[in-house]
Amino acid sequence: MGATEPTGGDRKYIRVITKNQSANFILGKFGPCNVAIISTGQGPDETDRVLTSVQNDVNAEFVIAIGICYGAKESETEELGDKTKLADIIVAKSIINTTSKRNERTETVVKTKECQCGGKLLNLFRHDDVFKFKSKPVKVHIGVLASEDTLQHNEEEKQKMLKQVPQVLGGEMEANGINRVAEREGGFQWIVIKAIVDWGNEKKDKKWQKFAAVSCARFVRQCLKDNEQPDGGDPLKEL
């Protein structure tokens, strides 16, 4: 790896520059596990670039992508079913690539490709329906996420997409980049876990972004802690 520098007074983690100097990450520990924390930026191309650079150095066995997404099906009642609310967490069992489209005479047809997330990771993040963060109950859904190349901010376009892939619970922009690296490089399992901050329409509001991003990270940490081994072993090895 490239140059390193301490990032905290406890010296428990360091910032690392990749060998090709095109990306950087924070290297830390979770129990016996080495953990590389990266921020990829928005969209599949930037995700592909950063993840490839870091993975060439760390050779991770598992990639857990967390962040924010839009919700596809808004609930206005407590009887949720497959409906969602702001700040709900979606653990993706699969990703549907909805970027490829063709225009026909009466409609735009989405040419979908579905990719399964890692089985071990999905088992790890299967959780009770509700996760509590700052005393607020946050509902956890296991389901399908759409992944797109551009930001979804039009209700009409979203509904056209949902008509063709009604199973999706929400959408985001990075999973296609992760899958691209996995198919090209191989060697790791991956999963996407995101929290809802808007409804993919014109009514964008940033007030939920911080809460959703932090609660998503806390959810991942809690699931890892819940699976810690009595002997201090790797929480992922026994899955």
Q: pLDDT at position 79, please?
A: 47
Residues 159-187 have pLDDT tens digits of: 988 988 999 999 999 999 999 999 999 99
Q: pLDDT at position 213, please?
A: 93
Mean pLDDT, rounded, for 114-123: 96
Query: In this structure, are 71 and 52 located in the same domain?
Result: no
Whether 237 is in a domain gets the answer no
Query: In this structure, are 88 and 48 located in the same domain?
Result: no
Q: pLDDT at position 229, please?
A: 78
Query: In this structure, are 21 and 79 located in the same domain?
Result: no
Whether 234 is in a domain gets the answer no
Query: In this structure, are 194 and 205 located in the same domain?
Result: yes
Query: In this structure, are 25 and 67 located in the same domain?
Result: no
CATH number of the structural domain spanning residue 182: 3.40.50.1580
* Number of C-beta neighbours around residue 146 at 10 A: 30
Query: In this structure, are 52 and 103 located in the same domain?
Result: no
The residue among 104 and 171 whose pLDDT is bigger is 171
Query: In this structure, are 33 and 128 located in the same domain?
Result: no
Confidence of residue 133 (pLDDT cuts 50, 70, 90): confident
Query: In this structure, are 53 and 72 located in the same domain?
Result: no
Query: In this structure, are 186 and 134 located in the same domain?
Result: yes
Query: In this structure, are 67 and 41 located in the same domain?
Result: no
Q: What are the b/e assignments for 16-47, b being 16+ CB within 10 Å?
A: bbbeeeebbbebeeeeebebbebebeebbebb
Instruction: Find out whether 109 and 101 touch, Cβ atoms under 8 Å.
Output: yes
Mean pLDDT, rounded, for 8-25: 83
Mean pLDDT, rounded, for 11-28: 89
Query: In this structure, are 51 and 160 located in the same domain?
Result: no
| Average pLDDT of every residue of the chain | 87
Choosing from 10, 41, 60, the residue where a domain stops is 60
Query: In this structure, are 78 and 128 located in the same domain?
Result: yes
Radius of gyration of the chain, Cα coordinates, nearest whole angstrom: 18
Confidence of residue 2 (pLDDT cuts 50, 70, 90): very low
Range of the domain at 8: 1-60
Q: pLDDT at position 125, please?
A: 95
Whether 233 is in a domain gets the answer no
In this predicted structure, the answer to whether residue 98 has a pLDDT above a threshold of 80 is yes
The domain total for the chain is 2
Mean pLDDT, rounded, for 43-70: 97
Whether 23 is in a domain gets the answer yes
